[in-house]
């Protein structure tokens, strides 16, 4: 029944061509001073170490070429550079249909790879291919994960503990207060808040996470060079200093109605669960709930008045199996994240060295091997081993076997 209700929302939204999307001019978003220090050098290093990054970017501009077709091309040609320069006949032999081949040829005729890389550098956008260790690991679990994502700001290992907070653009006073309380509580507990930068609940979720001193990630339905809606440009700049902006669309792509439902699968796919604060029965938030359900993610919903159109969707979700939540602690308990909140409360008191602080930044509720801790922290193995031993005694971390560590409490 839960799936039936949110599929109904999907059909309604597609039929209406996403009635919540309003076409309007976009404000260009270029703020290099807001980027974390070292972003330019990170990008330069990436471009040097990934010779074929331009071809991943190029294929991300081709309509109809996603995870499956890129895999076909790699299997047949060995690398994407050869695929990009292949003839129509070779592309056909690789398994592409005539329509997709036409799209490749059309994009190839007008695209200048060097300019693509210049755009990335101008807007300080990083490109993460799905094989890279910094690509969100949970996102790779979904069937239709984006093979390439674009990132501004900083993705941290701790962001793996994240929850999506979504809802209507036309939030009631009740919905605004609940969204503020939920997002702030999650952020104070060390949980990264993920949302879509839309008006209403999304905007409140991002702002409340930042104001609570936490982290937040905004998933765009366009390229990262412009913000939609334009009034959230200042918020997007703040997010750069407290998290990241990500998208599967390359620089220059403008928001289209069909991009928003696809964007929502990333919101749910990278998250442990999705919280729907307020939603009409045919809203985009219900689509996100559907995708979360299909991706085996937890779906949470806030109950509301049976007389409020803004709560029709959330009440229906609860009726058909979504988890009813009264405050953020219900989400922490259901996702087994209470330990992360308790760890955060202890951290300032118990961390007494720079090495401990470095290691703690890379340990979460998800197991991580000591070799990965060494690599990510940049510390030598003996120093990591001895520091982890001290942290175990303090009750900061716990070894769970096979040299894997997780957060722990005393």
Q: Per residue in 218-257, pLDDT tens?
A: 999 999 998 999 999 999 999 999 999 999 999 999 998 8
Instruction: Look at the alpha carbons of 124, 130, 135, 141 in this order and tell me if their dihedral is positive or negative.
Output: positive
Say which DSSP state 252 is in. Answer: T
For the question of whether the overall pTM of this predicted structure is more than 0.85, the answer is: no
Say which DSSP state 191 is in. Answer: P
Say which DSSP state 297 is in. Answer: -
pLDDT of residue 5: 53
pLDDT of residue 399: 87
What's the residue count for the chain?
410
**Sheet containing 162-166, strands listed edge to edge, beginning at the edge strand earlier in sequence:** 126-129, 148-153, 243-247, 216-219, 192-195, 162-166, 273-276, 298-301, 323-324
pLDDT of residue 358: 87
Contacts for 364 with CB less than 8 Å, ≥ 6 apart:
157, 158, 160, 161, 340, 406, 407
Phi-psi label, residue 198: left if phi above 0, alpha if psi -120 to 50, beta otherwise: beta
Phi-psi label, residue 148: left if phi above 0, alpha if psi -120 to 50, beta otherwise: beta
For the chain, list the domains and their CATH numbers. Answer: 152-334 (3.40.50.450), 338-407 (1.10.10.10)
SS3 of residue 282 by DSSP = coil
pLDDT of residue 7: 53
Phi-psi label, residue 356: left if phi above 0, alpha if psi -120 to 50, beta otherwise: alpha
- As a whole number of angstroms, the distance between CA 86 and CA 77 comes to 9
How crowded is residue 394: how many other Cβ atoms within 10 Å of its Cβ? 16
- As a whole number of angstroms, the distance between CA 401 and CA 408 comes to 14
Contacts for 265 with CB less than 8 Å, ≥ 6 apart:
142, 144, 291, 295
Token pair listed for 121 = 């550098």
- Phi/psi of residue 359, nearest 5 degrees: -70, -40
Token pair listed for 15 = 């039929």
**Cα 96-98-103 angle, rounded to 5 deg:** 85
- As a whole number of angstroms, the distance between CA 308 and CA 26 comes to 32
pLDDT of residue 29: 57
404 neighbors 371 (Cβ within 8 angstroms): no
200 neighbors 170 (Cβ within 8 angstroms): yes
Give the tens place of pLDDT for each residue, 359-393: 888 888 778 999 999 998 899 998 999 899 888 88
Residue ranges in the chain whose pLDDT is less than 50: 4, 10, 12-27, 32-50, 410
Q: Are strands 216-219 and 226-227 parallel, antiparallel or unpaired?
A: unpaired
- Phi/psi of residue 278, nearest 5 degrees: -140, 140
Q: What percent helix, strand, coil does the chain show, rounded to 5?
A: 50, 10, 35
Estimate to the nearest angstrom the gap between the alpha carbon of 233 and the chain centroid.
19
157 neighbors 368 (Cβ within 8 angstroms): yes
Token pair listed for 50 = 């990934």
How crowded is residue 98: how many other Cβ atoms within 10 Å of its Cβ? 10
- As a whole number of angstroms, the distance between CA 343 and CA 345 comes to 5
Estimate to the nearest angstrom the gap between the alpha carbon of 351 and the chain centroid.
29
pLDDT of residue 2: 59
């Amino acid at each position: 029944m839960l799936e039936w209700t949110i599929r109904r929302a999907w059909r309604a939204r597609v039929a209406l061509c996403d009635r919540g999307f309003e076409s309007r001019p976009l404000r260009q978003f270029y703020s290099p001073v807001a980027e974390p220090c070292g972003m330019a050098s990170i990008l330069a290093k990436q471009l040097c170490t990934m010779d074929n990054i331009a071809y991943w970017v190029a294929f991300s501009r081709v309509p109809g070429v996603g995870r499956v077709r890129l895999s076909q091309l790699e299997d047949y040609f060995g690398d994407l550079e050869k695929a990009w320069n292949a003839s129509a006949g070779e592309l056909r032999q690789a398994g592409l249909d005539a329509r997709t081949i036409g799209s490749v040829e059309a994009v190839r005729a007008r695209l200048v790879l060097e300019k693509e890389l210049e755009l990335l550098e101008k807007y300080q956008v990083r490109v993460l291919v799905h094989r890279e260790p910094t690509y969100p690991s949970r996102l790779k679990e979904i069937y239709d994960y984006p093979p390439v994502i674009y990132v501004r700001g900083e993705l941290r290992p701790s962001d793996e503990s994240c929850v999506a907070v979504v809802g209507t653009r036309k939030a009631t006073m009740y919905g605004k207060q609940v969204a503020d309380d939920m997002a702030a509580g999650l952020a104070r507990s060390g949980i990264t808040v993920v949302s879509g930068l839309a008006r209403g609940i999304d905007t409140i979720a991002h702002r409340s996470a930042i104001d609570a001193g936490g982290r937040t990630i905004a998933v765009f339905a366009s390229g990262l060079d412009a913000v939609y809606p334009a009034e959230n440009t200042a918020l997007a700049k703040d997010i750069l200093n407290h998290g990241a902006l990500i998208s599967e669309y390359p620089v220059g792509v403008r928001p289209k109605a069909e991009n928003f439902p696809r964007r929502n699968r990333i919101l749910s796919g990278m998250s442990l669960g999705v919280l729907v604060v307020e939603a009409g029965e045919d809203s985009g938030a219900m689509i996100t709930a559907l995708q979360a359900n299909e991706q085996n993610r937890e779906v949470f919903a806030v109950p509301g008045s049976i007389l409020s159109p803004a709560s029709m969707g959330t009440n229906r979700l609860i009726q058909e199996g979504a988890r009813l939540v009264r405050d953020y602690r219900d989400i922490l308990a259901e996702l087994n994240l209470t330990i992360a909140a308790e760890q955060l409360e202890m951290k300032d008191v118990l961390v007494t060295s720079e090495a401990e602080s470095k290691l703690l930044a890379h340990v979460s509720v998800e197991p991580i091997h000591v070799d990965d801790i060494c690599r990510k922290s940049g510390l030598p193995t003996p120093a990591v081993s001895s520091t982890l031993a001290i942290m175990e005694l303090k009750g900061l971390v716990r070894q769970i076997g096979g040299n894997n560590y997780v957060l722990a409490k005393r």
